[in-house]
Amino acid sequence: MSLKSARDFFRPLAVGAPAPLREIPARPSRAIHFFDPSNEKMAAKVPGMIGTVDVLLGNLEDAIKADNKVAAREGLVRIAQSTANLGGQSGPTQLWTRINALDSPWVLDDLTTLVPAIGDKLDVIMVPKVQGAEDIHYIDRLLAQLEAKAGLTRPILVHAILETARGVANVEEICGASPRMQGLSLGPADLAADRKMKTTRVGGGHPGYLVRQDPPRGTDSAETDPVFDPGRAIFQQDLWHYTIAKMVDACAMHGIYPYYGPFGDIADVVACEDQFRNAFLLGCVGTWSLHPKQIAIANRVFSPSVEDIAHARRVVAAMGDGTGAVMIDGKMEDDASLKQCLVLVELAEQLAAIDPELKKQYDAIETVEA
Ligand SMILES: CC(C)(COP(=O)(O)OP(=O)(O)OC[C@H]1O[C@@H](n2cnc3c(N)ncnc32)[C@H](O)[C@@H]1OP(=O)(O)O)[C@@H](O)C(=O)NCCC(=O)NCCSC(=O)C[C@H](O)C(=O)O
Ligand SMILES: [Mg+2]
């Protein structure tokens, strides 16, 4: 791989293109809500969703029928141009799109149509099936040329979906490939297929991926029924733990943001919430929402609880200058746990700035002296 100097890394890739950002803004993005811009019923719901969801994403890739690709692209342009308070830097709801795959017959038209028409409103372009840094370099240069031609003053950011085995192997170089990189999402369906995993589900767990409690002492495990043994507890495991953890580390190392992806069992709101919460606890900042009912789940899960914020604030208050160790409710707190608490407190402040209901809840927390 050829080396780029640090100075070149932040130089625009086309004459007249906006300067790359030095920091990726931490804009709340608990739910990235997917809609099909060619579906009139879904498109009609977009204006009413502004302010209720952090990100609206006009999907052009998978789930859009080949015959509707052009209608989806044109629909997205129409929606972006005609909807107030959507996208750009100030609106309450960001506007993202997922373009078609880089080897598809549609992607070039996606980019050459969207950037001139709605580049000033598009916050992030999600790129599917990213394999390595070369895919990001291609998009990076093309976007710079299109931005320069369109006279844009703000760079459009890029988000990659981790959904091939090669992409997972190259995750660190993908995150560091361009100052445009905003974040990564897990794409469990394509990734499962690419890895030849034997699940047909779109994200979530699988009842066959488990560990089983040992048999009672003195029992020959060969005699127990391996399929149904009510005497031995089973613990379902998370098929996606390894990939999410790897993605979180790569994103944190590069100062960009990790997201869970789709949870396809729309009816199973409980398991959806569990999967989202696992991702939140591991470090993800948000997730995809495929159906309106997943937005509330994502907003709830990816907002720290009032209890956690109450505790975090107590630790911050008790730790004074941030050094040393104190006891709170029988537990040791020190410089490191203070940093953990600050992660939550800072997230709560960002969310309170855009979510009046949450602000009310966080403001109502009584400050308890430790
Ligand atoms: C999953 C769906 C096909 C379900 O649609 P539908 O059967 O219409 O659901 P409902 O009848 O419950 O819908 C109720 C009303 O809500 C509207 N609706 C539904 N979904 C949305 C939406 N996403 N945004 C806005 N509005 C929505 C319906 O139109 C109904 O309206 P009304 O009749 O007026 O009451 C559908 O939800 C859907 O298509 N969702 C998006 C799917 C999608 O984007 N998939 C791609 C992302 S996942 C992926 O690509 C895999 C990934 O890349 C990987 O590899 O892992
Ligand atoms: Mg996919």
Residue nearest to atom 35 of ligand 1 (CA): 41
CA torsion 87-288-343-336 (nearest 10°) is: -150
Nearby residues of 281 by Cβ (< 8 Å), 6 or more positions away: none
What pLDDT digit, counting tens, does each position of 32-48 carry? 999 999 999 999 999 99
Please determine, for residue 177, whether its predicted confidence score (pLDDT) is greater than 50: yes
Mean per-residue pLDDT, 273-296: 98
pLDDT of residue 227: 59
Which band of pLDDT confidence, cut at 50, 70 and 90, is reported for residue 220? low
Which band of pLDDT confidence, cut at 50, 70 and 90, is reported for residue 110? very high
CA 346 to centroid of ligand 2, rounded, Å: 32
With 0.90 as the threshold, say if the pTM is over it: yes
pLDDT of residue 29: 97
Q: b/e map of 295-306 (b: 16 or more CB within 10 Å)?
A: bebbbebbbbee
Please determine, for residue 221, whether its predicted confidence score (pLDDT) is greater than 70: no
Residue nearest to atom 40 of ligand 1 (CA): 290
CA 221 to centroid of ligand 1, rounded, Å: 46
Please determine, for residue 248, whether its predicted confidence score (pLDDT) is greater than 60: yes
CA 290 to centroid of ligand 1, rounded, Å: 5
pLDDT-above-70 percentage for the chain: 95
DSSP 8-state secondary structure symbol assigned to residue 50:
B
**Coil, helix or strand for 280?**
helix
In this structure, which ligand is nearest to the CA of 62? Answer: 1
Please determine, for residue 316, whether its predicted confidence score (pLDDT) is greater than 50: yes
Q: Ligand 1 test: best mutation among 40, 42, 69, most atoms within 8 Å of CB?
A: 42
Nearby residues of 42 by Cβ (< 8 Å), 6 or more positions away: 35, 36
pLDDT of residue 370: 42
Please determine, for residue 369, whether its predicted confidence score (pLDDT) is greater than 50: no
51: region left, alpha or beta (phi > 0 left; psi from -120 to 50 alpha): left
Please determine, for residue 60, whether its predicted confidence score (pLDDT) is greater than 50: yes
CB 10, CB 155: distance < 8 Å: no
Angstrom distance (rounded) from CA 125 to CA 170: 20
Angstrom distance (rounded) from CA 274 to CA 269: 9
The position carrying tokens 């409980």 is 270
CB 212, CB 153: distance < 8 Å: no
CB atoms within 10 A of CB 321: 6
Mean per-residue pLDDT, 194-200: 97
CB 116, CB 150: distance < 8 Å: yes
What pLDDT digit, counting tens, does each position of 7-25 carry? 899 999 999 999 999 999 9
pLDDT of residue 5: 87
The domain locations on the chain are 9-202+239-302, 207-238, 307-369
In this structure, which ligand is nearest to the CA of 129? Answer: 2
pLDDT of residue 228: 56
Question: In ligand 1, which atom is closest to the CA atom of 202?
Answer: 56
CA 52 to centroid of ligand 2, rounded, Å: 25
Q: Which region among 82-91, 241-250, 259-268 has the lowest average model confidence (pLDDT)?
A: 82-91
CA angle (62, 209, 163) in 5-degree steps: 25
Average pLDDT over all residues of the chain: 95
**Residue 74 identity (one-letter amino acid):** E
Question: In ligand 1, which atom is closest to the CA atom of 161?
Answer: 53
pLDDT of residue 215: 83
User: Which residues are near ligand 1 (CB < 6 Å)?
Assistant: 34-36, 41-42, 45, 59, 62-63, 161, 163, 187-190, 202, 261-262, 266, 290-292
Please determine, for residue 230, whether its predicted confidence score (pLDDT) is greater than 80: no
Angstrom distance (rounded) from CA 286 to CA 224: 42
Residue nearest to atom 41 of ligand 1 (CA): 290
Please determine, for residue 136, whether its predicted confidence score (pLDDT) is greater than 90: yes
Angstrom distance (rounded) from CA 203 to CA 159: 19
> What string of DSSP letters covers 172-199?
HHHHTS-TTEEEEEE-HHHHHHHHT-S-
CA 226 to centroid of ligand 2, rounded, Å: 34
Mean per-residue pLDDT, 282-308: 98
The burial of 348, by beta-carbon neighbours within 10 Å (0-12 exposed, 13-18 middle, 19 or more buried), is given as buried
Angstrom distance (rounded) from CA 300 to CA 287: 12
Which band of pLDDT confidence, cut at 50, 70 and 90, is reported for residue 4? confident
Residue nearest to atom 50 of ligand 1 (CA): 62
CA 259 to centroid of ligand 2, rounded, Å: 14
Q: Collect residues with CB below 5 Å from ion ligand 2.
A: 163, 187, 190
DSSP 8-state secondary structure symbol assigned to residue 59:
E
CB atoms within 10 A of CB 339: 10
pLDDT of residue 7: 87
Q: Ligand 1 test: best mutation among 291, 294, 295, 297, most atoms within 8 Å of CB?
A: 291
Classify domain 9-202+239-302 at the CATH superfamily level.
Phosphoenolpyruvate-binding domains (3.20.20.60)
CA 285 to centroid of ligand 2, rounded, Å: 20
CA 291 to centroid of ligand 1, rounded, Å: 5
What pLDDT digit, counting tens, does each position of 144-175 carry? 999 999 999 999 999 999 999 999 999 999 99
